[in-house]
Amino acid sequence: MRAYQLDRFESLDGLVLRDREMPQPGPGEAVVRIHARSLNYRDLLIMHRRYPVPGTAGVVPVSDGAGEVVAVGEGVTRVAVGDRVAATYFPRWRDGRFAVEMAAEQFGCTRDGMLAEFAVADQEALVTIPAHLSYEEASTLPCAGVMAWSALTGLRPVLPSETVLTIGSGGVALFALQFATLFGARVIAVTSSESKAELLKRHGASVVVNSSRSPDWERAVRDATDGRGVDHVVETGGLDTLPRSLASCGADAHLALVAALGAGTLDAPALGAPATIRRLYVGSRASFEAMNRAIAHHTLRPVIGSVFPFDEAKDAYTHFAAKQHVGKVVIGT
């Protein structure tokens, strides 16, 4: 089979297409023909050695993918040949609270991921994808979809008529917009361009604030809530936007911090906001399955910005790294 692997780190030059042996399932495992995969910011961090968990040299990158089960090992009962599946971000996190040791095993980082024609996974790490989704759409779910779902359903679930603030138009932000709308919440979205503002409105944003026109956009957010502030924030911007997100919070608000913060500091006064900050690590298999039930029930469709052929995976990385995309960047067959 063909597979990309990270022979070297620090640059895209280290991503090399190789011929590999076809994986075989061991006891409890399944082999999946990967039809589509999607990129996440963590894939860039791993490549450039800035991810908290160091990537393994020679690893097949990318955590998110969807495909068809083509072989199963002894004792497999969760999936069968022909099933349409995706893998969880953390293969060992089935349910309950996150434990640090679960982070030691990750697709596309410490074990081979989805940027290959076939992948092998433990049956416990696989979930069935919603029937109405294409493989391209389903490939966007494991990280961005589950992250947004966890942000809105975790410690303090979003309630109808509450106000949710989203940042940008990337995969997590758009999933959060779609899920919050599904829950009956009112969404205020912050973006930096008029073209992206129109897309956000089409997908359900009640108010869109253009940060290019309103640099102090937290004031516009408060104005849109009659001065009360928002009830929830899905913070995907990082340290650049976090102080303004906190300033947008109302009393007893909940801020889900899903961004990779990177280097920098935060001034102490920013933490004076009356909000609870919760750092998220994607979500469990149980969260993935709950999200899929909601997606199937409401026939929700993820927003895909572009799809690249498998042979043009490097171009997909370059396009994604430029940060001009809207929605998810997908690599197909």
Tell me how far CA of residue 180 lies from CA of 142, 164, 245, 274, 296, in angstroms: 18, 7, 17, 22, 16
**Predicted confidence band of residue 145 (pLDDT cuts 50, 70, 90):** very high
pLDDT at 226 over 90: yes
CATH 3.40.50.720 range(s) for the chain read: 147-279
Instruction: Encode 260-309 in three state secondary structure.
Output: CCCCCCCCHHHHHCCEEEEECCCCCHHHHHHHHHHHHHHCCCCCEEEEEC
Distance CA 119, CA 104 (A): 19
Model pLDDT, residue 244: 95
Place of tokens 């919603």: 130
Residue ranges of the chain assigned to CATH 3.90.180.10 = 2-140+302-331
CATH for 147-279? 3.40.50.720
Write the CB contacts of 19 (distance below 8 Å, at least 6 apart in sequence): 1, 2
Q: Average pLDDT of the chain?
A: 95
Segment among 42-51, 271-280, 285-294 with least mean pLDDT? 271-280
SS3 126: strand
Percent of the chain residues past pLDDT 70, beyond the cut: 98
Q: Using a CB cutoff of 8 Å and minimum separation of 24, what contacts does 95-101 make?
A: 95/284, 95/285, 95/286, 96/284, 98/281, 98/284
CA neighbor of 165 nearest in space, from 226, 253, 260: 253
pTM exceeds cut of 0.85? yes
CB 295 within 8 A of CB 130: yes
pLDDT tens per residue, range 119-133: 999 999 999 999 999
Q: What is the pLDDT, as a whole number, of residue 262?
A: 62
Average pLDDT (298-315) is: 98
- Position 310 scores a pLDDT of 98
CATH hierarchy code of domain 2-140+302-331 = 3.90.180.10
Lowest mean pLDDT among 14-23, 111-120, 193-202: 193-202
What's residue 194's pLDDT?
Answer: 87
The answer to whether 225 touches 161, Cβ cutoff 8 Å, is no
Q: Is 90 exceeded by the pLDDT of residue 274?
A: no
One-letter amino acid identity for 77? Answer: T
**In the predicted model, what is the mean pLDDT of residues 199-216?**
94
pLDDT digits (tens, 9 = 90+) for 70-90: 999 999 999 999 999 999 999
Position with higher pLDDT, 101 vs 264: 101
Predicted confidence (pLDDT) at residue 240 exceeds the cutoff of 90? no
What is the structure's pLDDT at 263?
63
